[in-house]
Amino acid sequence: MNPAHHANLPYGQDQAQILSARALAQASAAIRDWPGYAPTPLHRLPALARRLDVAEVLYKDEGGRFGLGSFKALGGAYAVARLLCRLTGSVLGREVGLHELGMPEVRAVSETVTVACATDGNHGRSVAWGARMFGCRCVIFIHATVSDGRKRAIEALGARVVRTEGNYDESVREADAQAAAQGWHVISDTSYPGYMDVPRDVMQGYQVMMDEAGNQWDAAGGSPTHVFIQAGVGGFAAAVCGWFWERAGAASRPRFIVVEPDAADCLYRSAARQELTAVTGGLETLMAGLACGEVSHLAWMILRQAVDAFAVIDDDAAIATMRLMACPLPGDPCIVAGESAVAGLAAAMAIAADPQQRAQLGIDAHSRFFFIGSEGDTDPELYTRLVGASADSLRGARAAQAGA
């Protein structure tokens, strides 16, 4: 892992301009009413905490979120719902609330709408699920290296999937071009000048898991001192960071560390240069959900001010951490964590073992680490190949152990 790079950027812009508690309350009320909603678990890993010489390791496992395998279920589907409220309201000549999306007159308008997006897998799956739930059509663009397993999972939700040449960022541009030509509506988790509202809705949906986590760690002994969060375009990291920002402010918020693959480190490079910097090329990493070369502008508005450090890891570190979660230290739970889920934890283990970096980030025996396991085995075949055991077999062994 490369050494953590401190941003040393100004802090203090009013983030209510981007994400707000009021908008989160609206998102939370809607999402908690969706079929199958349940808070995802927050696991304590005491043995790993002892190894890292910290007081607590807390891991929120998003692998079971709505049966879609990742936290992305919260964002893309919620943005679809918000878009349909705006579009149907315009046609019907009145304001349409989120609770009305199942009404026949609203549904009839929704059926004329097509939503589209580019994806590495998880976001497109959420958008397709939201489109099916709320009754609109869906076209998803995937780039050249997205696995067939992830393609099939999106198609199973009723979406049409189009494979493009090139990397993720090129698939984003193709989705935008096709949507403009066909009159479709883009549901993207990345933002750029002139396109902010939908990515803001995506990020607001993500924050629902942070409200859950806040309640869970209060019951587990207190809030974290350090948050290690993985990033692709940055929307996920910014949503988590913004949640802490609004509640704790600059004085009492935890230290915040953003982690990327070393082959797709656009945030790390942007922080180093203190300006948005793109990464080009194949972006070849096993961490498919993080293989993004261009930073979301909306996310950067938060991250450039609030992140304490940026770090990168390689694929080998991610694989080793997946295996550690599958076959944990004695006393810790077995957790199915996909390749993009473990980047934050992999970086934290490397940083905690380095005295200089521990000192830079104020890590000591009283520190409480928080991670979000952003996906489970969203590509079961790849997971089995990397870990050496299927997720189903590990879950079966975990269930048997719990029942013993």
pLDDT in tens, 144-177: 889 999 999 999 999 999 999 988 889 999 999 9
Gap between the Cα atoms of 229 and 302, Å rounded:
14
What domain count does the chain have? 2
Averaged over 255-277, what is the pLDDT?
96
Please report whether residue 10 resides in a domain. no
Please report whether residue 29 resides in a domain. yes
Enter the tokens of residue 270: 């942007």
Please report whether residue 79 resides in a domain. yes
Domain range for residue 224? 15-69+203-403
Do 24 and 137 lie in one domain? The reply is no
Averaged over 112-120, what is the pLDDT?
96
Do 118 and 218 lie in one domain? The reply is no
**CATH code of 333's domain:** 3.40.50.1100
Question: If you average pLDDT over every residue of the chain, what do you get?
Answer: 92
Confidence label for 1 from pLDDT (cuts 50, 70 and 90): very low
Q: State the helix-helix crossing angle for 297-306 and 235-252, rounded to 10 degrees.
A: 30
- The percentage of the chain sitting over the pLDDT mark of 90, rounded to a whole number, equals 83
Do 172 and 231 lie in one domain? The reply is no
C-alpha torsion 149→150→156→161, nearest 10: -120
The yes-or-no verdict on residue 248 having pLDDT over 90 is no
Enter the tokens of residue 253: 């918020």
Please report whether residue 175 resides in a domain. yes
The yes-or-no verdict on residue 13 having pLDDT over 50 is no
Q: Is 26 within 8 Å of 338 (Cβ atoms)? A: no
Averaged over 249-278, what is the pLDDT?
93
Please report whether residue 3 resides in a domain. no
pLDDT value of position 17: 59
Please report whether residue 198 resides in a domain. no
- From the list 285, 388, 284, the residue with the least C-alpha distance to 336 is 388
pLDDT value of position 10: 38
- The percentage of the chain sitting over the pLDDT mark of 70, rounded to a whole number, equals 94
Please report whether residue 8 resides in a domain. no
Gap between the Cα atoms of 83 and 98, Å rounded:
10
Coil, strand or helix at 98:
helix
Do 58 and 92 lie in one domain? The reply is no
Strands of 105-239 (E only): list them: 114-119, 137-142, 160-163, 185-186, 226-230
Do 82 and 31 lie in one domain? The reply is no
Confidence label for 7 from pLDDT (cuts 50, 70 and 90): very low
Enter the tokens of residue 373: 């396991």
Supply the residues annotated as catalytic. 72, 120
Identify the residue with better confidence: 228 or 16: 228
Do 65 and 76 lie in one domain? The reply is no
Domain end marker among 163, 190, 217: 190
Domain end marker among 190, 223, 244: 190
Do 133 and 257 lie in one domain? The reply is no
Do 184 and 254 lie in one domain? The reply is no
C-alpha torsion 243→269→231→24, nearest 10: 30
pLDDT value of position 15: 47
Coil, strand or helix at 108:
helix
The yes-or-no verdict on residue 347 having pLDDT over 60 is yes
Do 334 and 222 lie in one domain? The reply is yes
The yes-or-no verdict on residue 58 having pLDDT over 70 is yes
Do 208 and 153 lie in one domain? The reply is no
Averaged over 331-354, what is the pLDDT?
97
Please report whether residue 133 resides in a domain. yes
Do 46 and 137 lie in one domain? The reply is no
Confidence label for 281 from pLDDT (cuts 50, 70 and 90): confident
Do 49 and 108 lie in one domain? The reply is no
The yes-or-no verdict on residue 40 having pLDDT over 70 is yes
Domain end marker among 166, 190, 214: 190
* Identity of residue 187: I
